[in-house]
């Protein structure tokens, strides 16, 4: 079991069965199968198996030759893993160029380069993009984090293994033991794997932070526990290996019992674990690694046992053989084959996604992976060809993700009639005086207040000589201060600093002294939040009363220096689909309508103006990515630069200018 020309250990079809179940669990998790909320732990099964097989191969090579050829080992890993990855990266870059808005292309560039360098896990660990509570559609390359961890292990572990074996051999020679000891006799390996496993488990427990699992989930140090458990298993089982490399038929009731417990435990963990639960990182990752290791051990030592025969069923073996390609292709395909594009949800959507994934993985295996891996000898320029392929994909990543140049646009006539700009203000209650008393000379000033949606709107407005725009929005913060919320189906704490949003708004208003204060709020007010011990949302009477109080406070802060307050209605959103294709509660149009009713009522109470941004952005009364022939939403929530400049600004800026110079 190795690449062409490398050391071999006896092939065990049951191990392909382990691969099949692991990748099936991952697909079920990403497909929204409710019965497997812990399917993400299928990746740990891959880690255990990788640690076991790689260590077994290295020990077999050392046993047979007395040395380990690191260059040949790394070359075999490159032949096995790199070609399929390059193909997926190239396809993702080309397709994403067509599907993603220009604002998201630079992030994809760095995702691709990180994946190419097998550092994706560290990029994911240190940026916003929580695997379990992501604030939007994740990167189509997010899944490459696990490849990074494995490749980093493949780089470091063989070096450590060679050093340990050399050190042990020197000790043996000093003691007059003659030939270097065989790997099964090297106690140092057992000690290192045990200490490494314990250290990784302790690191995961120490670094876990509720509501912020990125670092512990993606870190090589915290996820190495599964790889090291697999490596330790290889060291232990090497004692039971004959010189020919064939496991002896050792049947021990204790091992069989452990395998049964491991299979049951793995299934239970896949069916119950939640990625945000603290126990997963405080021993859970170690537990699942040990459970999988017990199954692998029994299947390897007793290949005719029921466990091994079950795992060696032909369908599982066939899926296991293409599992690498299945894993590589499934994530971007699941991202592209959405309910919005296919019109499917639930089981039907999952079936289509899996069918396309299997087709892509099979093609990759037959046309790319297997021919390269089975080739006895690659042409002499093979390293140069591989280097050129890597450089080519890197070039596509760098130059193919440059956002399109903005189109030239005619200047916006701020003194145009409101109707020409797309409609007059929906309502102005208790209109203020025609001219603001004591207004400063020069261009009127407009402040944008709100969250990141307000930030994207205010930031992308084209500059105007007759109007000065300042963006005082607080990204990640609405006006609801309740500390517990549900976002994309996961419990999530309110972001630090959001409790004092009014102080931050007040500082901006006092510094700018604006003529008009524009308030745009939506996302954070639409989520489920815990109020009076119960999960509630906009539309519930008690929660509406709470939001009304906060909205009154927001208008009061915005008007503190005499600015006329303008409220923008919240547009409909489509931030991210559920894994099964359904909508999350915060994307419910009924919640948006309920919030907008609260806005209009507040405008009546405070004499504020309401501009119907929702009607402008969603002219058909439902969410849309485009309006007026231009893409206006980048991720289903925030605005695109071109959408603001070509569609929203010609409608919004003349109205704000009129309000500023006339007071309403």
For residue 387, give every residue at least 6 positions away whose Cβ sits within 8 Å of its Cβ, in sequence order, or none.
none
- Rounded Cα distance between 360 and 374, Å, is 20
pLDDT band at 380 (very low <50, low <70, confident <90, very high): low
Residues in the chain: 664
For residue 167, give every residue at least 6 positions away whose Cβ sits within 8 Å of its Cβ, in sequence order, or none.
188
- Rounded Cα distance between 16 and 174, Å, is 43
pLDDT band at 432 (very low <50, low <70, confident <90, very high): very low
The phi and psi torsions of 399 (rounded to 5 degrees) equal -90, -25
Task: Judge whether 173 and 70 are in contact, CB under 8 Å.
Answer: no
Nearest to residue 8, comparing CAs of 172, 270, 244, 359? 244
Whether residue 436 is predicted with pLDDT greater than 50 in this model: the reply is no
Span(s) in the chain for CATH 3.40.50.1110: 439-662
Nearest to residue 352, comparing CAs of 334, 335, 340? 334
518-556: per-residue pLDDT in tens? 999 988 999 999 999 999 999 999 999 999 999 999 999
- pLDDT computed for residue 211 by the predictor: 72
pLDDT band at 199 (very low <50, low <70, confident <90, very high): very high
Pairing, β 630-631 against β 626-627: antiparallel
For residue 28, give every residue at least 6 positions away whose Cβ sits within 8 Å of its Cβ, in sequence order, or none.
35, 36, 39
In this structure, how many other beta carbons lie within 10 angstroms of the beta carbon of residue 476?
17
- Rounded Cα distance between 356 and 214, Å, is 29
Average pLDDT over residues 279-297: 96
- pLDDT computed for residue 251 by the predictor: 52
What are 651's strand-pairing partners?
A: none
CA angle 630, 636, 642 (to 5 degrees): 30
- pLDDT computed for residue 435 by the predictor: 36
Q: Label residue 542 exposed, middle or buried (CB < 10 Å: 0-12, 13-18, 19+).
A: exposed
pLDDT over 70 percentage in the chain: 88
- pLDDT computed for residue 588 by the predictor: 95
621-647: per-residue pLDDT in tens? 999 999 999 999 999 999 999 999 999
Average pLDDT over residues 38-46: 97
Task: Judge whether 371 and 365 are in contact, CB under 8 Å.
Answer: no
**3-class DSSP state of 428:** strand
From 1-5, 43-47, 162-166, 172-176, the region with the lowest mean pLDDT: 1-5
- Rounded Cα distance between 10 and 368, Å, is 25
- Rounded Cα distance between 89 and 223, Å, is 24
394-420: per-residue pLDDT in tens? 999 999 999 887 777 777 878 766 544
**Comparing 508 with 491, which gets the higher pLDDT?**
508
Task: Judge whether 522 and 593 are in contact, CB under 8 Å.
Answer: no
Task: Judge whether 269 and 41 are in contact, CB under 8 Å.
Answer: yes
- Rounded Cα distance between 39 and 42, Å, is 6
Task: Judge whether 115 and 652 are in contact, CB under 8 Å.
Answer: no
pLDDT band at 497 (very low <50, low <70, confident <90, very high): confident
The phi and psi torsions of 27 (rounded to 5 degrees) equal -65, -40
Q: Which two three-digit tokens encode residue 413?
A: 């006539």
For residue 567, give every residue at least 6 positions away whose Cβ sits within 8 Å of its Cβ, in sequence order, or none.
518, 519, 555, 599, 602, 603, 608, 609, 610, 611
For residue 385, the Cα-to-chain-centroid distance in whole angstroms is 32
Whether residue 316 is predicted with pLDDT greater than 70 in this model: the reply is yes
Nearest to residue 520, comparing CAs of 422, 397, 608? 608
Q: Could you write out the DSSP letters of every residue in 166-177?
A: HHHHHHHHHTT-
- pLDDT computed for residue 434 by the predictor: 34
CA angle 615, 617, 618 (to 5 degrees): 65
572-594: per-residue pLDDT in tens? 999 888 999 999 999 999 999 99
- Mean pLDDT, the chain, rounded, equals 88
- Rounded Cα distance between 435 and 663, Å, is 5
pLDDT band at 441 (very low <50, low <70, confident <90, very high): low
In this structure, how many other beta carbons lie within 10 angstroms of the beta carbon of residue 549?
11
Pairing, β 564-568 against β 484-487: unpaired
- pLDDT computed for residue 108 by the predictor: 96
pLDDT over 90 percentage in the chain: 70
Average pLDDT over residues 259-276: 94
**Comparing 575 with 199, which gets the higher pLDDT?**
199
- pLDDT computed for residue 193 by the predictor: 94
Alpha carbon of 574 to those of 220, 578, 588: distances in Å?
Answer: 33, 11, 9
Nearest to residue 26, comparing CAs of 220, 307, 270? 270
- Rounded Cα distance between 160 and 162, Å, is 5
- Rounded Cα distance between 78 and 59, Å, is 20
Contacts 24+ apart (CB under 8 A), 541-549: 544/594, 544/598, 546/480, 546/482, 547/479, 547/480, 547/595, 547/598, 548/598, 548/601, 548/602
Q: What number does CATH give the domain 439-662?
A: 3.40.50.1110
Q: Label residue 411 exposed, middle or buried (CB < 10 Å: 0-12, 13-18, 19+).
A: exposed
Task: Judge whether 308 and 299 are in contact, CB under 8 Å.
Answer: yes
**Pseudo-torsion of CA 70, 75, 77, 81, nearest 10°?**
160
For residue 298, give every residue at least 6 positions away whose Cβ sits within 8 Å of its Cβ, in sequence order, or none.
255, 256, 258, 259, 262, 305, 307, 308
Nearest to residue 460, comparing CAs of 653, 624, 612? 653
Whether residue 197 is predicted with pLDDT greater than 80 in this model: the reply is yes
């Amino acid at each position: 079991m190795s690449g062409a020309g490398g050391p071999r250990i006896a092939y065990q079809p049951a191990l392909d069965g382990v691969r099949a179940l692991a990748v099936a669990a991952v697909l079920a998790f990403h497909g929204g199968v409710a019965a497997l909320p812990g399917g993400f732990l299928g990746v740990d099964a891959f880690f255990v198996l990788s640690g076991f097989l790689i260590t077994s191969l290295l020990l077999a090579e050392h046993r047979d030759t007395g040395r380990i050829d690191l260059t040949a080992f790394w070359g075999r890993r490159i032949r096995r893993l790199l070609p399929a990855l390059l193909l997926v990266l190239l396809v993702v870059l080309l397709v994403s160029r067509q599907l993603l808005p220009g604002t998201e292309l630079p992030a994809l560039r760095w995702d691709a380069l990180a994946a190419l360098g097998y550092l994706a896990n560290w990029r994911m660990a240190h940026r916003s993009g929580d695997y379990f509570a992501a604030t939007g559609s994740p990167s189509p390359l997010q899944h490459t984090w696990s490849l990074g961890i494995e490749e980093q292990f493949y780089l470091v572990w063989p070096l450590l293994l060679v050093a340990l074996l050399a050190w042990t051999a020197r000790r043996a020679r000093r003691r007059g033991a003659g030939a270097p000891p065989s790997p099964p006799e090297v106690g140092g390996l057992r000690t290192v794997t045990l200490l490494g496993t314990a250290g990784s488990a302790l690191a995961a427990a120490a670094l876990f932070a509720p509501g912020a699992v990125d670092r512990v989930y993606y870190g090589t140090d915290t996820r190495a526990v599964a790889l090291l458990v697999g490596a330790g298993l290889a060291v232990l089982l090497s004692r039971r290996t004959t010189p020919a490399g064939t496991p002896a038929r050792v049947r021990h009731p204790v091992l069989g019992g452990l395998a049964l417990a491991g299979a049951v435990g793995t299934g239970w963990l896949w069916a119950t674990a939640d990625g945000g639960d603290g126990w997963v990182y405080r021993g859970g990752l170690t537990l699942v690694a040990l459970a999988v290791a017990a199954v692998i051990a029994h299947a390897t030592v007793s290949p005719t046992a029921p466990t091994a025969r079950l795992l060696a069923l032909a369908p599982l073996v066939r899926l296991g053989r293409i599992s690498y390609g299945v894993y590589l292709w499934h994530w971007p395909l699941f991202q592209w084959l959405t309910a919005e594009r296919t019109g499917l949800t639930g089981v039907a959507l999952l079936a289509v996604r899996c069918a396309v994934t299997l087709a892509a993985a099979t093609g990759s295996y037959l046309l790319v992976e297997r021919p390269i891996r089975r080739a006895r000898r690659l042409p002499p320029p093979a390293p140069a060809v591989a280097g050129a392929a890597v450089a080519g994909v890197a070039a596509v990543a760098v130059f193919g993700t440059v956002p399109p140049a903005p189109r030239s646009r005619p200047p916006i006539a701020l003194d145009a009639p409101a109707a020409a700009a797309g409609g007059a203000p929906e309502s102005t209650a208790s209109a203020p005086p025609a001219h603001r008393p004591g207004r400063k000379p020069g261009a009127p000033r407009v402040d944008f207040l709100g969250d990141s949606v307000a930030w994207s709107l205010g930031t992308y407005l084209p500059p105007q000589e007759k109007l000065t725009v300042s963006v005082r929005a607080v990204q990640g913060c609405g006006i609801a201060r309740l500390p517990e919320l549900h976002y994309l189906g996961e419990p999530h704490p309110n972001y630090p600093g959001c409790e004092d949003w009014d102080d931050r708004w007040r500082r901006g208003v006092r510094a700018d002294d604006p003529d008009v204060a524009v308030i745009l709020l939506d996302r954070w007010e639409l989520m489920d939040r815990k109020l009076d011990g119960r999960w509630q949302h906009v539309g519930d009477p008690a929660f509406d009363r709470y939001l009304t109080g906060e909205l009154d406070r927001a208008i009061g802060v915005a008007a503190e220096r005499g600015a006329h307050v303008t409220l923008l209605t919240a547009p409909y959103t489509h931030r991210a689909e559920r894994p099964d294709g359904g909508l999350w509660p915060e994307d419910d149009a009924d919640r948006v309508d309920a919030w907008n009713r609260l806005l209009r009522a507040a405008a009546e109470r405070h004499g504020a103006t309401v501009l119907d941004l929702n009607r402008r952005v969603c002219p058909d009364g439902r969410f849309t990515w485009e309006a007026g022939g231009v893409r206006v939403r980048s991720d289903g929530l925030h605005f695109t630069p071109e959408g603001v400049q070509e569609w929203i600004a010609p409608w919004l800026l003349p109205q704000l200018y009129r309000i500023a110079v006339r007071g309403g």
